[in-house]
């Protein structure tokens, strides 16, 4: 179980540190991909006459409209009752260059369990989390040639999920922050039973290269909760809670980034960094593009993108990072002074 308030306060600082050297061109340039679970030949959970694929779609469309009304760019992985495989959902998200991916689902159980829960990618802490992931991952059985597409992944084998966590690892902090806002909205605004933020191995989250969360709105197997989620009122309320959470997530990030940037400029803080490369092509800031180096930032000067590694207050520490960069294969890298968003090469 993850403490929502503690996560929001602590992990936000990690996210801000990872973003503060990147260019934020426009406060309104914020894109959310909404992924209504299941669809078409895949109904998802069916219980008490309620269909997960229909509830997920209706709630997603209401959420998208609310976000668009607030100036958020919205992209859907599906906007009607059709089947979309999990890899294609992730591809749609990645092509959009979005800042957040939200996959919406409903749950079911043999008991009268009820309540909302929000998942981020990770290893299941218990059998219950595994069962939820197994149910959602079983979508791949509706796909042709799923064995090769998912490299032999078996939703029924817990060990298959271990490999899922690696790609999304660098987005985990941001994902948990977003999940905390969403889960708080369900509990505090709508008084839904709190089933907390959890980690489990969902395929659709694994392949998205951005902060990503999967929401289980509630249990269709609970007749009262299923009726609520199947109603226009319930879908509107859940969508509004998620929308408010997304706006809070976005606004706090931008507000803190602006405050951080202003504070540094006023104090003229100087850092020593390692320039490892320069190019007229903008590369995605992933370790595989920089020979495994993590926390690489980019600064644009004219038409040239300069890629910087490390961030140190002393030249001695910077020289240690310089050694690491050269060992990694960046033989022509060098130390620069980074001040007021300007790069000054040292003699």
Residues 27, 141, single domain; the answer is yes
| pLDDT per position as a tens digit, 252-283 | 766 654 444 444 444 556 788 889 988 877 88
Residues 238, 282, single domain; the answer is no
| pLDDT per position as a tens digit, 216-238 | 999 999 999 999 999 999 999 99
331-346 mean pLDDT? 78
Residues 149, 296, single domain; the answer is no
Asked if residue 16 lies in contact with residue 58, where contact means CB atoms within 8 angstroms, the answer is no
Does 130 score more than 60 pLDDT?
Answer: no
pLDDT score for 83: 93
pLDDT score for 39: 95
Residues 145, 193, single domain; the answer is yes
158-184 mean pLDDT? 68
| pLDDT per position as a tens digit, 185-217 | 999 999 999 999 888 777 777 778 888 999 999
Distance CA 284, CA 289 (A): 7
Q: Which residues form the domain of 143? A: 4-256
Query: 262 or 314, which is more confident?
Result: 314
Query: 35 or 155, which is more confident?
Result: 35
pLDDT score for 111: 92
Does 4 score more than 50 pLDDT?
Answer: no
The rounded mean pLDDT for the chain is 78
54-83 mean pLDDT? 97
pLDDT score for 340: 67
Residues 245, 293, single domain; the answer is no
Residues 135, 210, single domain; the answer is yes
Residues 298, 232, single domain; the answer is no
């Amino acid at each position: 179980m993850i403490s929502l308030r503690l996560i929001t306060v602590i992990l936000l600082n990690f996210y801000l540190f990872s973003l503060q050297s990147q260019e934020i061109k426009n406060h309104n340039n914020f894109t959310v991909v909404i992924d209504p679970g299941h669809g078409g030949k895949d109904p998802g959970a069916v219980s008490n006459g309620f269909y997960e694929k229909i509830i997920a779609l209706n709630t997603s469309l209401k959420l998208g409209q609310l976000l668009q009304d607030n100036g958020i760019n919205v992209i859907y992985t599906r906007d009607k009752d059709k089947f979309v495989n999990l890899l294609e959902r992730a591809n749609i998200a990645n092509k959009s260059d979005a800042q957040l991916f939200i996959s919406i689902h409903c749950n079911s159980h043999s008991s009268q369990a009820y309540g909302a829960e929000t998942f981020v990618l990770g290893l299941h802490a218990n059998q219950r989390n595994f069962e939820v992931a197994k149910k959602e991952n079983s979508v791949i059985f509706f796909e042709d040639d799923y064995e090769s597409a998912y490299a032999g992944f078996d939703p029924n084998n817990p060990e298959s999920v271990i490999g899922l966590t690696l790609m999304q690892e660098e987005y985990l902090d941001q994902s948990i922050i977003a999940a905390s806002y969403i889960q708080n909205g369900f509990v505090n605004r709508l008084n839904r039973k709190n089933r907390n933020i959890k980690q489990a191995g969902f395929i659709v989250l694994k392949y998205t290269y951005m902060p990503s969360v999967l929401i289980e709105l509630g249990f269709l197997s609970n007749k009262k909760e299923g009726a609520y989620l199947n109603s226009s009122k319930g879908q509107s309320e859940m969508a509004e809670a998620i929308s408010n959470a997304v706006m809070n997530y976005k606004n706090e990030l931008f507000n803190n980034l602006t405050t951080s940037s202003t504070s540094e400029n006023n104090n003229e803080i100087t850092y020593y960094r390692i320039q490892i490369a320069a190019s007229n092509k903008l590369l995605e800031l992933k370790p595989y593009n920089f020979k495994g180096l993590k926390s690489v930032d980019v600064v644009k000067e004219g038409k040239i993108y300069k890629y910087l590694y490390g961030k140190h207050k002393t030249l001695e520490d910077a020289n240690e990072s310089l050694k690491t960069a050269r060992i990694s294969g960046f033989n022509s890298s060098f130390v620069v002074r980074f001040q007021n968003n300007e790069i000054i090469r040292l003699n």
